[in-house]
C-alpha cells in the first residue's frame, strides 16, 4: 500500500493511540492537512474531464487511502474514548483539553446522562464500589446434623450427618444453614 507523506504522521499517531492507555491530543492539524489534500485532488480530478483516466484512477486511489487513514484515526479515538468514558473517574481539565470539540461535548453529555441516571435510580443499583468478588465462590462444609434435602439455587442437595460437600457460600439457603449451625465451614 502506498502511504504518502501527509498520511504517514496520522498513521503513526493512530498506532500510538492503540498502544496507549491515555487519551492523546486530537491531531486537528494533521486531519485538516489530509482533508485539504483530498479536496485538492477532487478539484484536479474534476478538471481532467475524463481526458486522462489513468491519472483520475491514481488520484481516486490516493483519496481513498487518505480517507481510510482519517477513518482509522477517528475509529481508534472513539475506541479509546469509550474506554475512558466507561471508567468511573471524571476527566481532568488536562485530559479534556486533549479532546476535539465534539469529543468534549460527548463527555459533557455522557457525564450529565450518568448523573441524571444515578439521581433517578435507587442507591442499591450503584453498589459497584461496595461489591467485591469472593475469594472462592465455593466453600467446603461439614454436615453437623441430618438435614435431608435442601433446595438451593443450584438444585436439591442432600445433607447427611458427618459428610462433607462443596457448596456456594453466597446461596441464601446455605448461608442460613451455616448461621443456624447445621453446617460448618471446613478450613482449607
Grid-cell match 471524571, residue found: 90
Spell 2-38 as b/e; 16+ CB within 10 A means b: eeeebbeebeebbeebeeeeebeebbeebbebbeebb
At residue 17, the pLDDT reads 75
> What's the rounded Cα separation, in Å, for the pair 157 and 181?
17
Instruction: Please give the share of the chain, as a percent, with pLDDT higher than 70.
Output: 84
At residue 70, the pLDDT reads 84
Distances (CA, A) of 151 to 14, 16, 158, 165, 176: 55, 55, 9, 15, 12
For the domain covering 7-125, report its CATH number: 1.20.58.1030
Give the three-state DSSP class for 14.
helix
Distances (CA, A) of 109 to 50, 78, 90, 115: 47, 15, 13, 10
> Confidence class of residue 126 from pLDDT cuts 50, 70 and 90?
low
> Confidence class of residue 1 from pLDDT cuts 50, 70 and 90?
very low
What are 53-89's pLDDT values in tens digits? 877 888 888 888 888 888 888 888 888 777 777 666 6
> What's the rounded Cα separation, in Å, for the pair 84 and 88?
9
At residue 133, the pLDDT reads 59
Is the per-residue pLDDT at 33 higher than 80? yes
CB 27 within 8 A of CB 13: yes
Is the per-residue pLDDT at 27 higher than 60? yes
CB 171 within 8 A of CB 153: yes
Is the per-residue pLDDT at 2 higher than 60? no
Amino acid at each position: 500500500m502506498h502511504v504518502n507523506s501527509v498520511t504517514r504522521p496520522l498513521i503513526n499517531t493512530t498506532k500510538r493511540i492503540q498502544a496507549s492507555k491515555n487519551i492523546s491530543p486530537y491531531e486537528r492539524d494533521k486531519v485538516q492537512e489530509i482533508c485539504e489534500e483530498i479536496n485538492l485532488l477532487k478539484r484536479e480530478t474534476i478538471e481532467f474531464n475524463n481526458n486522462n483516466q489513468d491519472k483520475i484512477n491514481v488520484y481516486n486511489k490516493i483519496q481513498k487511502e487518505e480517507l481510510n487513514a482519517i477513518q482509522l484515526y477517528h475509529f481508534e479515538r472513539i475506541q479509546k474514548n469509550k474506554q475512558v468514558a466507561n471508567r468511573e473517574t471524571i476527566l481532568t481539565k488536562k485530559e479534556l483539553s486533549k479532546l476535539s470539540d465534539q469529543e468534549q461535548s460527548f463527555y459533557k453529555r455522557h457525564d450529565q446522562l450518568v448523573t441524571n441516571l444515578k439521581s433517578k435510580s435507587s442507591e442499591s443499583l450503584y453498589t459497584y464500589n461496595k461489591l467485591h468478588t469472593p475469594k472462592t465462590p465455593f466453600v467446603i462444609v461439614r454436615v453437623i446434623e441430618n438435614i435431608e434435602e435442601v433446595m438451593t439455587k443450584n438444585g436439591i442437595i442432600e445433607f447427611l450427618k458427618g459428610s462433607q460437600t462443596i457448596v456456594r457460600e453466597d446461596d441464601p439457603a446455605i448461608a442460613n444453614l451455616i448461621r443456624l449451625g447445621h453446617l460448618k465451614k471446613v478450613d482449607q
